[in-house]
Amino acid sequence: MANGWGSRQRGRPGYKIAQQTAKLEDITRDLSPVVTNVPELVDAEPLSVISVKEPNSSSKTPISRLDDLILEAIAKLKEPRGSNRAAISLYIEERYLTPPNFERLLAANLKLLTEKGRLIKVKHQYRIAPTSATIDLGIDPPPLLLEVVQKDSSNGEKKGTKVLTKAQIDAELERLRSMTAAEAAAAAAQAVAEAEAAIAEAEVAAREAEEAEAEAEAAQCFAEAALKALKCRTVLV
């Protein structure tokens, strides 16, 4: 009778129930310090409330009209020969939130703006057309026009090229402002064609100048060789 129970009592069902109850109380007593030592979560925020912000998203604004952003990028970059598509794309992506298909949209808009005469494309470089710069952006004509007028005026007169003064350019721009959209587009297309033709003529002239320089160098070499041969012959005589 170590536990105060006789052999007869151990065989009874009540003894087994009491023994199991005592074991459960012991287990609960042993576990109670562990449970009480668990720190309470005070003011825990639900997972549904936590929001994840994208990095640097606060510094960018949603993309607006892509046409205006393209013109803004080219105007702000101020590259003398125009800006290529990569430079325009980088400018917009650094300042605005762009969609996943941004590169495809950019290529399509650049092509459309070029076809409409708002941009001039030369050797994968895009420049704002004079009519687009004055009418859409409300700014003065780009210095490229004045540079073309003032530079090499004597060569232009010799070749029969029509050289416009600043007053003539202002009058032409005023005439363009009074045109309809269709007339302005046609005039812009003609201006683009004339600009491309002028560039082609300049490239041909540059090639001709290089060829003439090469011929002059060859003639000089021939003259020097002939002079040396003549000196040698004179010495022998």
Q: Residue ranges per domain, the chain?
A: 61-198
pLDDT tens sequence across 108-122:
999 998 888 888 888
Answer whether 0.85 is exceeded by the pTM. no
Judged by DSSP in three states, 11 sits in coil
Beta strands 61-62; 96-97: pairing state? parallel
Q: What is the pLDDT of residue 134?
A: 46
Q: In whole angstroms, give the CA distance from residue 230 to residue 236.
A: 10
Cβ count within 10 A of residue 25: 10
Q: Which residues of the chain have pLDDT under 70?
A: 1-64, 131-164, 233-237
CATH 1.10.10.10 fits 61-198, yes or no: yes
Two structure tokens written together for 120 = 């001039």
Residue environment code for 108-141, b if the CB has 16+ CB neighbours within 10 A, otherwise e: ebbeebeebbbbbbeeebbbbbbbbbbbeeeeeb
pLDDT tens sequence across 14-39:
555 566 666 656 655 655 554 445 44
Amino acid residing at 129: A
